Amino acid sequence: MAISSVGPLPGSSVGPLAGSPNILFIMSDDHAAHAISSYGSKINQTPNLDRIANEGIRFDSTFCTNSICAPSRAAILTGTYNHINGVTTLDTPLDNSLWTFPMALQSAGYSTAMIGKWHLGHGPNADPAGFDFWRILPGQGHYLNPVMLEGAPPGSTYGPRVVERGGYVTDLITDDCIEWMAAQSGVSDQAGPWALFCHHKAPHRTWEPSAKHFTMYEDVEIPYPDTFYDDLDGRAEVVQAVKMRMMDLDPVTDLKATVPPGLTETEEINWRYQRYIKDYLRCVASIDDNVGRMLNWLDETGQAENTIVVYTSDQGFFLGDHGWFDKRLMYEESLQMPFLLRYPNGVTKPGSSNSEVITNVDFAPTLLELAGVQGPPTIQGRSFAPMLTGEIPPDWPTSMYYRYWMHRDRAHLCPAHYGVRTKTHKLICYYNHPLDQPGANGPADEMEWELFDLVADPLETNNIWGQAEVAAIQSELLAELQQLQDQVGDEPFRRNA
Protein backbone atom coordinates (compact mmCIF):
# COMPACT_ATOMS: atom_id res chain seq x y z
CA MET A 1 0.00 0.00 0.00
CA ALA A 2 1.37 3.41 -0.91
CA ILE A 3 2.24 5.84 1.87
CA SER A 4 0.19 8.97 1.41
CA SER A 5 1.57 12.45 1.84
CA VAL A 6 0.36 14.42 4.81
CA GLY A 7 0.05 18.19 4.91
CA PRO A 8 0.26 20.51 7.90
CA LEU A 9 -1.99 20.03 10.89
CA PRO A 10 -5.22 22.01 10.89
CA GLY A 11 -4.62 25.42 12.43
CA SER A 12 -0.83 25.10 12.43
CA SER A 13 1.27 27.92 11.05
CA VAL A 14 3.81 26.78 8.49
CA GLY A 15 4.81 30.15 7.11
CA PRO A 16 7.64 30.81 9.58
CA LEU A 17 8.94 27.29 8.95
CA ALA A 18 9.27 27.64 5.20
CA GLY A 19 13.06 27.61 5.42
CA SER A 20 13.36 25.21 8.32
CA PRO A 21 15.37 22.04 7.75
CA ASN A 22 13.97 18.59 7.20
CA ILE A 23 15.01 16.07 9.84
CA LEU A 24 16.00 12.47 9.13
CA PHE A 25 16.55 10.83 12.52
CA ILE A 26 17.98 7.33 12.09
CA MET A 27 18.27 5.18 15.19
CA SER A 28 19.40 1.59 15.41
CA ASP A 29 19.07 -0.75 18.37
CA ASP A 30 22.17 -1.81 20.35
CA HIS A 31 24.70 -0.46 17.83
CA ALA A 32 27.88 0.16 19.80
CA ALA A 33 29.96 3.17 18.80
CA HIS A 34 33.06 0.96 18.66
CA ALA A 35 31.45 -0.94 15.78
CA ILE A 36 31.51 2.17 13.57
CA SER A 37 34.72 2.88 11.68
CA SER A 38 34.52 6.66 12.15
CA TYR A 39 34.68 5.91 15.89
CA GLY A 40 37.83 3.85 15.37
CA SER A 41 36.33 0.37 15.07
CA LYS A 42 38.93 -2.39 14.88
CA ILE A 43 36.46 -5.00 13.67
CA ASN A 44 34.39 -3.53 10.82
CA GLN A 45 33.98 -0.76 8.28
CA THR A 46 30.89 1.44 7.93
CA PRO A 47 31.50 3.71 4.92
CA ASN A 48 28.02 5.22 4.78
CA LEU A 49 27.90 6.06 8.46
CA ASP A 50 31.40 7.46 8.07
CA ARG A 51 30.04 9.70 5.34
CA ILE A 52 27.72 11.36 7.87
CA ALA A 53 30.70 11.93 10.16
CA ASN A 54 32.97 13.16 7.36
CA GLU A 55 30.35 15.58 6.04
CA GLY A 56 29.10 16.59 9.49
CA ILE A 57 30.20 16.23 13.10
CA ARG A 58 30.97 13.27 15.35
CA PHE A 59 30.11 13.51 19.04
CA ASP A 60 32.51 11.36 21.06
CA SER A 61 31.04 11.62 24.57
CA THR A 62 27.35 10.97 24.04
CA PHE A 63 25.83 8.85 26.81
CA CYS A 64 22.48 7.26 27.59
CA THR A 65 20.87 7.86 30.97
CA ASN A 66 19.59 4.26 31.19
CA SER A 67 21.16 1.67 28.90
CA ILE A 68 18.14 -0.32 27.85
CA CYS A 69 15.80 0.04 24.87
CA ALA A 70 12.47 1.45 26.02
CA PRO A 71 13.79 3.82 28.72
CA SER A 72 16.37 5.32 26.37
CA ARG A 73 13.79 5.83 23.64
CA ALA A 74 11.46 7.55 26.12
CA ALA A 75 14.27 9.85 27.26
CA ILE A 76 15.04 10.78 23.66
CA LEU A 77 11.43 11.58 22.77
CA THR A 78 10.53 13.46 25.95
CA GLY A 79 13.84 15.10 26.84
CA THR A 80 13.34 13.87 30.42
CA TYR A 81 14.85 11.26 32.72
CA ASN A 82 13.01 8.01 33.29
CA HIS A 83 11.81 8.80 36.81
CA ILE A 84 9.99 11.74 35.20
CA ASN A 85 8.59 10.10 32.03
CA GLY A 86 7.76 6.86 33.86
CA VAL A 87 9.55 4.48 31.48
CA THR A 88 12.01 2.96 33.94
CA THR A 89 12.17 -0.62 32.63
CA LEU A 90 11.22 -2.72 29.61
CA ASP A 91 7.85 -3.36 31.25
CA THR A 92 6.76 0.28 31.51
CA PRO A 93 5.10 1.73 28.36
CA LEU A 94 5.27 5.40 27.43
CA ASP A 95 2.05 7.29 28.18
CA ASN A 96 1.31 8.85 24.79
CA SER A 97 -0.37 11.84 26.39
CA LEU A 98 3.06 13.03 27.53
CA TRP A 99 4.74 15.76 25.51
CA THR A 100 7.34 14.60 22.99
CA PHE A 101 9.43 16.64 20.62
CA PRO A 102 7.83 15.08 17.50
CA MET A 103 4.54 16.50 18.83
CA ALA A 104 6.13 19.94 18.94
CA LEU A 105 7.42 19.57 15.39
CA GLN A 106 4.02 18.41 14.19
CA SER A 107 2.22 21.29 15.90
CA ALA A 108 4.65 23.75 14.32
CA GLY A 109 3.83 22.54 10.82
CA TYR A 110 6.22 19.66 10.23
CA SER A 111 4.93 16.53 8.54
CA THR A 112 6.06 13.71 10.83
CA ALA A 113 6.46 9.96 10.55
CA MET A 114 7.69 7.08 12.71
CA ILE A 115 8.74 3.96 10.82
CA GLY A 116 10.38 0.88 12.36
CA LYS A 117 10.91 -0.12 15.97
CA TRP A 118 8.78 1.69 18.54
CA HIS A 119 9.09 -0.59 21.60
CA LEU A 120 7.23 1.75 23.94
CA GLY A 121 3.97 -0.16 24.23
CA HIS A 122 0.85 -0.65 22.13
CA GLY A 123 -2.79 0.28 22.42
CA PRO A 124 -4.76 3.53 22.62
CA ASN A 125 -2.63 4.90 25.47
CA ALA A 126 0.78 3.84 24.16
CA ASP A 127 0.73 3.84 20.35
CA PRO A 128 2.85 6.54 18.69
CA ALA A 129 1.49 10.08 19.04
CA GLY A 130 2.67 13.22 17.32
CA PHE A 131 3.10 11.48 13.97
CA ASP A 132 1.04 12.00 10.84
CA PHE A 133 2.04 8.52 9.73
CA TRP A 134 3.42 5.56 11.63
CA ARG A 135 4.24 2.00 10.73
CA ILE A 136 5.94 0.09 13.51
CA LEU A 137 7.11 -3.35 14.55
CA PRO A 138 5.03 -4.93 17.31
CA GLY A 139 7.34 -5.40 20.28
CA GLN A 140 10.79 -6.43 19.09
CA GLY A 141 9.53 -7.50 15.68
CA HIS A 142 11.19 -10.07 13.44
CA TYR A 143 14.20 -9.86 11.16
CA LEU A 144 12.60 -11.87 8.34
CA ASN A 145 9.14 -11.25 6.88
CA PRO A 146 8.21 -8.88 9.70
CA VAL A 147 4.62 -8.00 10.51
CA MET A 148 4.13 -4.28 11.11
CA LEU A 149 1.32 -2.17 12.54
CA GLU A 150 0.19 0.97 10.71
CA GLY A 151 -1.69 3.77 12.38
CA ALA A 152 -5.09 4.77 11.04
CA PRO A 153 -5.26 8.04 9.08
CA PRO A 154 -6.24 11.18 11.04
CA GLY A 155 -9.96 11.27 11.73
CA SER A 156 -10.45 7.52 11.36
CA THR A 157 -12.20 5.55 14.07
CA TYR A 158 -10.61 2.16 13.46
CA GLY A 159 -7.36 0.97 15.02
CA PRO A 160 -3.99 0.06 13.49
CA ARG A 161 -3.97 -2.22 10.47
CA VAL A 162 -1.60 -5.16 10.09
CA VAL A 163 0.95 -4.93 7.27
CA GLU A 164 2.42 -8.25 6.14
CA ARG A 165 5.26 -8.46 3.64
CA GLY A 166 8.17 -10.67 2.74
CA GLY A 167 11.72 -9.42 3.04
CA TYR A 168 14.43 -8.36 5.45
CA VAL A 169 13.45 -5.91 8.16
CA THR A 170 16.22 -3.34 7.62
CA ASP A 171 15.52 -3.22 3.88
CA LEU A 172 11.76 -2.94 4.39
CA ILE A 173 12.02 -0.14 6.94
CA THR A 174 14.27 1.75 4.54
CA ASP A 175 11.90 1.11 1.64
CA ASP A 176 9.08 2.61 3.69
CA CYS A 177 11.18 5.59 4.73
CA ILE A 178 12.20 6.45 1.18
CA GLU A 179 8.62 6.07 -0.01
CA TRP A 180 7.39 8.41 2.73
CA MET A 181 10.08 11.00 1.99
CA ALA A 182 9.21 10.84 -1.69
CA ALA A 183 5.55 11.43 -0.85
CA GLN A 184 6.48 14.60 1.04
CA SER A 185 8.42 15.81 -1.97
CA GLY A 186 5.26 15.56 -4.01
CA VAL A 187 3.15 17.94 -1.91
CA SER A 188 2.73 21.61 -2.71
CA ASP A 189 5.38 24.24 -2.06
CA GLN A 190 3.18 25.63 0.71
CA ALA A 191 3.71 22.53 2.84
CA GLY A 192 6.10 22.67 5.77
CA PRO A 193 9.26 20.64 6.23
CA TRP A 194 9.25 17.01 7.26
CA ALA A 195 10.69 14.99 10.15
CA LEU A 196 11.15 11.26 9.69
CA PHE A 197 12.10 8.90 12.51
CA CYS A 198 13.65 5.80 10.95
CA HIS A 199 14.08 3.31 13.78
CA HIS A 200 15.83 0.07 12.89
CA LYS A 201 15.48 -3.21 14.75
CA ALA A 202 19.05 -4.26 13.97
CA PRO A 203 21.49 -5.11 15.38
CA HIS A 204 19.40 -6.30 18.34
CA ARG A 205 19.65 -9.87 19.57
CA THR A 206 19.20 -12.48 17.96
CA TRP A 207 21.38 -11.00 15.22
CA GLU A 208 19.92 -12.51 12.04
CA PRO A 209 21.73 -11.25 8.93
CA SER A 210 20.26 -10.66 5.51
CA ALA A 211 20.97 -13.00 2.62
CA LYS A 212 23.26 -10.35 1.12
CA HIS A 213 25.55 -10.37 4.16
CA PHE A 214 25.05 -13.97 5.25
CA THR A 215 28.62 -15.11 4.47
CA MET A 216 30.37 -11.83 5.28
CA TYR A 217 33.44 -12.44 7.51
CA GLU A 218 33.14 -16.18 6.85
CA ASP A 219 36.88 -16.66 6.35
CA VAL A 220 38.00 -13.97 8.79
CA GLU A 221 38.77 -14.15 12.50
CA ILE A 222 37.36 -11.06 14.19
CA PRO A 223 39.86 -9.55 16.67
CA TYR A 224 39.13 -10.05 20.34
CA PRO A 225 38.62 -7.03 22.63
CA ASP A 226 41.47 -6.16 25.00
CA THR A 227 39.27 -7.10 27.97
CA PHE A 228 37.78 -10.26 26.47
CA TYR A 229 39.35 -12.49 29.12
CA ASP A 230 38.67 -10.07 32.00
CA ASP A 231 38.17 -12.13 35.17
CA LEU A 232 36.35 -9.17 36.81
CA ASP A 233 38.56 -9.42 39.86
CA GLY A 234 37.89 -6.54 42.25
CA ARG A 235 34.60 -5.58 40.64
CA ALA A 236 31.31 -5.64 42.54
CA GLU A 237 30.00 -9.13 43.29
CA VAL A 238 26.70 -8.36 41.56
CA VAL A 239 28.64 -7.39 38.43
CA GLN A 240 30.56 -10.66 38.50
CA ALA A 241 27.24 -12.51 38.69
CA VAL A 242 25.53 -11.05 35.60
CA LYS A 243 24.54 -13.55 32.91
CA MET A 244 26.08 -11.83 29.91
CA ARG A 245 29.11 -14.06 29.26
CA MET A 246 29.72 -15.90 25.99
CA MET A 247 28.67 -19.10 27.76
CA ASP A 248 25.26 -17.52 28.41
CA LEU A 249 24.50 -17.26 24.68
CA ASP A 250 21.99 -19.82 23.43
CA PRO A 251 23.58 -22.03 20.74
CA VAL A 252 20.31 -22.40 18.83
CA THR A 253 18.71 -18.94 18.90
CA ASP A 254 21.81 -16.77 19.31
CA LEU A 255 24.59 -18.73 17.61
CA LYS A 256 22.50 -20.79 15.15
CA ALA A 257 24.78 -23.80 15.49
CA THR A 258 25.61 -26.63 17.83
CA VAL A 259 28.86 -26.35 19.73
CA PRO A 260 31.58 -28.41 18.01
CA PRO A 261 32.62 -31.44 20.09
CA GLY A 262 35.98 -31.69 21.78
CA LEU A 263 36.59 -28.01 22.48
CA THR A 264 38.28 -26.85 25.65
CA GLU A 265 36.41 -24.21 27.64
CA THR A 266 38.60 -21.42 26.24
CA GLU A 267 38.16 -22.75 22.71
CA GLU A 268 34.39 -22.87 23.14
CA ILE A 269 34.30 -19.31 24.49
CA ASN A 270 36.31 -18.15 21.46
CA TRP A 271 34.06 -20.09 19.09
CA ARG A 272 30.98 -18.54 20.67
CA TYR A 273 32.42 -15.04 20.31
CA GLN A 274 33.17 -15.54 16.63
CA ARG A 275 29.65 -16.83 15.97
CA TYR A 276 28.09 -13.95 17.90
CA ILE A 277 30.19 -11.06 16.66
CA LYS A 278 30.07 -12.03 12.99
CA ASP A 279 26.28 -12.10 12.92
CA TYR A 280 26.17 -8.83 14.86
CA LEU A 281 28.49 -7.16 12.34
CA ARG A 282 26.54 -8.60 9.41
CA CYS A 283 23.42 -6.89 10.78
CA VAL A 284 25.42 -3.66 11.11
CA ALA A 285 26.53 -3.96 7.49
CA SER A 286 22.90 -4.01 6.39
CA ILE A 287 22.23 -0.88 8.45
CA ASP A 288 25.18 0.84 6.80
CA ASP A 289 24.04 -0.12 3.29
CA ASN A 290 20.55 1.18 3.93
CA VAL A 291 21.76 4.43 5.45
CA GLY A 292 23.66 4.86 2.20
CA ARG A 293 20.43 4.38 0.25
CA MET A 294 18.78 7.22 2.16
CA LEU A 295 21.78 9.52 1.82
CA ASN A 296 21.84 8.86 -1.91
CA TRP A 297 18.11 9.59 -2.15
CA LEU A 298 18.62 12.96 -0.47
CA ASP A 299 21.39 13.76 -2.92
CA GLU A 300 19.39 12.69 -5.96
CA THR A 301 16.37 14.77 -4.95
CA GLY A 302 18.37 17.87 -4.05
CA GLN A 303 17.32 17.79 -0.39
CA ALA A 304 20.67 17.03 1.25
CA GLU A 305 21.65 20.66 1.88
CA ASN A 306 18.56 21.44 3.93
CA THR A 307 18.16 18.13 5.75
CA ILE A 308 19.56 17.33 9.19
CA VAL A 309 20.66 13.70 9.21
CA VAL A 310 21.25 12.10 12.59
CA TYR A 311 22.55 8.60 13.18
CA THR A 312 22.47 7.19 16.68
CA SER A 313 21.58 4.08 18.66
CA ASP A 314 19.39 3.75 21.72
CA GLN A 315 22.46 2.71 23.73
CA GLY A 316 25.81 0.99 23.37
CA PHE A 317 26.56 -2.72 23.58
CA PHE A 318 29.24 -5.06 24.85
CA LEU A 319 31.02 -6.69 21.91
CA GLY A 320 32.92 -9.21 23.97
CA ASP A 321 34.26 -6.39 26.15
CA HIS A 322 34.88 -7.77 29.67
CA GLY A 323 33.73 -11.07 28.17
CA TRP A 324 30.17 -9.80 27.84
CA PHE A 325 27.36 -9.25 25.36
CA ASP A 326 24.28 -7.05 26.00
CA LYS A 327 24.24 -3.64 27.76
CA ARG A 328 22.51 -2.30 30.97
CA LEU A 329 25.69 -1.75 33.02
CA MET A 330 27.24 1.71 33.32
CA TYR A 331 30.52 0.56 31.76
CA GLU A 332 31.72 2.61 28.80
CA GLU A 333 30.83 0.23 25.98
CA SER A 334 27.22 0.11 27.16
CA LEU A 335 26.97 3.74 28.27
CA GLN A 336 28.27 5.41 25.11
CA MET A 337 25.91 6.10 22.23
CA PRO A 338 27.09 6.94 18.72
CA PHE A 339 25.84 10.33 17.60
CA LEU A 340 26.65 11.56 14.10
CA LEU A 341 25.00 14.66 12.67
CA ARG A 342 25.16 16.09 9.18
CA TYR A 343 23.63 19.45 8.34
CA PRO A 344 25.37 21.27 5.48
CA ASN A 345 23.61 24.53 6.36
CA GLY A 346 24.51 24.25 10.03
CA VAL A 347 27.83 22.43 10.61
CA THR A 348 30.63 24.88 9.94
CA LYS A 349 33.53 22.38 10.00
CA PRO A 350 32.59 19.11 8.26
CA GLY A 351 34.61 16.19 9.56
CA SER A 352 35.00 17.72 13.02
CA SER A 353 34.43 16.03 16.36
CA ASN A 354 33.27 17.12 19.79
CA SER A 355 34.14 15.60 23.18
CA GLU A 356 31.72 17.47 25.44
CA VAL A 357 29.46 15.39 27.71
CA ILE A 358 26.08 14.97 26.02
CA THR A 359 23.17 12.71 26.98
CA ASN A 360 20.09 11.38 25.25
CA VAL A 361 17.83 13.88 27.06
CA ASP A 362 19.71 16.59 25.13
CA PHE A 363 18.58 15.34 21.71
CA ALA A 364 15.07 16.82 21.85
CA PRO A 365 15.99 20.44 22.70
CA THR A 366 18.84 20.35 20.17
CA LEU A 367 16.71 19.27 17.23
CA LEU A 368 13.94 21.67 18.23
CA GLU A 369 16.38 24.58 18.29
CA LEU A 370 17.74 23.64 14.87
CA ALA A 371 14.15 23.47 13.59
CA GLY A 372 13.26 26.84 15.10
CA VAL A 373 10.60 25.30 17.35
CA GLN A 374 10.08 26.15 21.01
CA GLY A 375 9.97 23.37 23.58
CA PRO A 376 8.34 23.46 27.03
CA PRO A 377 10.23 24.35 30.22
CA THR A 378 9.73 20.78 31.45
CA ILE A 379 12.51 19.51 29.17
CA GLN A 380 15.42 18.45 31.35
CA GLY A 381 18.01 18.30 28.58
CA ARG A 382 19.91 21.19 27.03
CA SER A 383 20.47 22.07 23.40
CA PHE A 384 23.95 21.45 22.08
CA ALA A 385 23.11 23.12 18.75
CA PRO A 386 25.82 25.79 19.30
CA MET A 387 28.44 23.04 19.16
CA LEU A 388 27.71 22.52 15.47
CA THR A 389 29.55 25.79 14.86
CA GLY A 390 32.28 25.09 17.40
CA GLU A 391 30.78 27.13 20.23
CA ILE A 392 30.83 25.52 23.70
CA PRO A 393 28.47 27.20 26.20
CA PRO A 394 30.61 28.30 29.17
CA ASP A 395 28.35 26.55 31.67
CA TRP A 396 28.03 23.29 29.75
CA PRO A 397 27.91 20.26 32.11
CA THR A 398 31.08 18.25 32.65
CA SER A 399 29.32 15.25 34.21
CA MET A 400 26.24 13.11 33.62
CA TYR A 401 23.80 11.07 35.71
CA TYR A 402 22.82 7.47 35.01
CA ARG A 403 20.27 5.10 36.52
CA TYR A 404 19.33 1.52 35.66
CA TRP A 405 16.20 0.34 37.49
CA MET A 406 15.49 -3.22 36.35
CA HIS A 407 17.11 -5.15 39.22
CA ARG A 408 17.78 -8.82 38.54
CA ASP A 409 16.03 -8.81 35.18
CA ARG A 410 15.19 -12.39 34.34
CA ALA A 411 17.45 -12.58 31.29
CA HIS A 412 20.70 -11.22 32.73
CA LEU A 413 20.35 -10.67 36.51
CA CYS A 414 21.72 -7.18 36.05
CA PRO A 415 21.77 -5.15 39.29
CA ALA A 416 19.94 -1.87 39.86
CA HIS A 417 22.43 0.98 40.06
CA TYR A 418 23.03 4.66 39.54
CA GLY A 419 26.14 6.72 39.10
CA VAL A 420 28.00 9.73 37.83
CA ARG A 421 30.47 10.00 34.98
CA THR A 422 32.78 12.99 34.68
CA LYS A 423 35.43 13.58 32.04
CA THR A 424 37.99 11.77 34.20
CA HIS A 425 36.20 9.42 36.61
CA LYS A 426 33.16 7.23 37.07
CA LEU A 427 31.40 6.36 40.33
CA ILE A 428 28.77 3.61 40.37
CA CYS A 429 26.47 2.73 43.28
CA TYR A 430 24.89 -0.72 43.01
CA TYR A 431 21.99 -0.16 45.38
CA ASN A 432 20.66 -3.58 44.38
CA HIS A 433 16.97 -3.27 45.13
CA PRO A 434 13.93 -3.81 42.85
CA LEU A 435 11.93 -0.96 44.44
CA ASP A 436 8.71 -2.54 43.10
CA GLN A 437 9.63 -1.57 39.55
CA PRO A 438 7.84 -3.56 36.81
CA GLY A 439 10.19 -6.22 35.49
CA ALA A 440 12.59 -5.88 38.42
CA ASN A 441 12.99 -8.83 40.78
CA GLY A 442 14.26 -9.68 44.23
CA PRO A 443 15.97 -10.55 46.31
CA ALA A 444 17.66 -7.29 47.16
CA ASP A 445 21.43 -7.43 47.62
CA GLU A 446 23.83 -5.49 49.79
CA MET A 447 24.94 -2.16 48.36
CA GLU A 448 28.28 -2.15 46.51
CA TRP A 449 30.38 0.56 44.87
CA GLU A 450 32.82 0.91 42.00
CA LEU A 451 35.12 3.81 41.17
CA PHE A 452 37.18 4.04 38.00
CA ASP A 453 39.88 6.48 36.93
CA LEU A 454 39.02 6.82 33.23
CA VAL A 455 42.34 8.51 32.44
CA ALA A 456 44.62 5.91 34.03
CA ASP A 457 42.20 3.00 33.47
CA PRO A 458 40.05 3.67 30.38
CA LEU A 459 39.14 -0.03 30.09
CA GLU A 460 37.64 -0.02 33.62
CA THR A 461 39.46 -3.03 35.00
CA ASN A 462 40.68 -1.56 38.30
CA ASN A 463 38.04 -0.69 40.89
CA ILE A 464 39.67 1.86 43.23
CA TRP A 465 36.67 2.45 45.50
CA GLY A 466 37.72 2.75 49.13
CA GLN A 467 41.43 3.16 48.48
CA ALA A 468 43.03 5.77 50.73
CA GLU A 469 44.88 7.57 47.96
CA VAL A 470 41.61 8.42 46.15
CA ALA A 471 39.65 9.52 49.22
CA ALA A 472 39.47 13.12 48.04
CA ILE A 473 38.20 12.35 44.54
CA GLN A 474 35.78 9.79 46.01
CA SER A 475 34.28 12.46 48.24
CA GLU A 476 34.02 14.86 45.30
CA LEU A 477 32.22 12.26 43.19
CA LEU A 478 29.80 11.42 45.99
CA ALA A 479 28.97 15.11 46.25
CA GLU A 480 28.60 15.38 42.47
CA LEU A 481 26.27 12.37 42.45
CA GLN A 482 24.08 14.01 45.08
CA GLN A 483 24.12 17.31 43.20
CA LEU A 484 23.02 15.64 39.96
CA GLN A 485 20.24 13.73 41.68
CA ASP A 486 18.99 16.99 43.18
CA GLN A 487 19.25 18.70 39.80
CA VAL A 488 17.19 16.11 37.91
CA GLY A 489 14.80 15.48 40.82
CA ASP A 490 15.70 11.84 41.45
CA GLU A 491 15.65 10.29 44.90
CA PRO A 492 18.77 8.52 46.21
CA PHE A 493 18.21 5.00 47.46
CA ARG A 494 17.72 4.53 51.18
CA ARG A 495 17.69 0.98 52.52
CA ASN A 496 15.04 1.70 55.16
CA ALA A 497 12.74 3.58 52.74
- Given this model, what pLDDT does residue 5 score? 32
Residues 334-360: pLDDT tens digits? 999 999 999 999 999 999 999 999 999
pLDDT band with cut points at 50, 70 and 90 for residue 156: confident
Asked if omega into 203 is within 30° of 0 (cis), the reply is: yes
- What is the distance between the alpha carbons of residues 325 and 208, in angstroms, rounded to a whole number? 16
Between the alpha carbon of residue 44 and those of residues 39, 407, 413, the distances in Å are: 11, 33, 30
Cut 0.85: pTM above it: yes
Phi, psi of 358 (to 5 degrees): -130, 145
Structural domains in the chain plus CATH codes: 19-210+276-392 (3.40.720.10), 400-488 (3.30.1120.10)
How many CB atoms neighbour CB 439 within 10 A?
18
Query: 383 and 89 in contact (C-beta within 8 Å)?
Result: no
**pLDDT at residue number 67:** 98
The answer to whether 63 and 359 have CB atoms below 8 angstroms apart is yes
Using a pLDDT cut of 70, give the percent of the chain over it.
95
Between residues 156 and 251, the one the model is more confident about: 251
Nearest Cα residue to 196 out of 436, 67, 6: 6
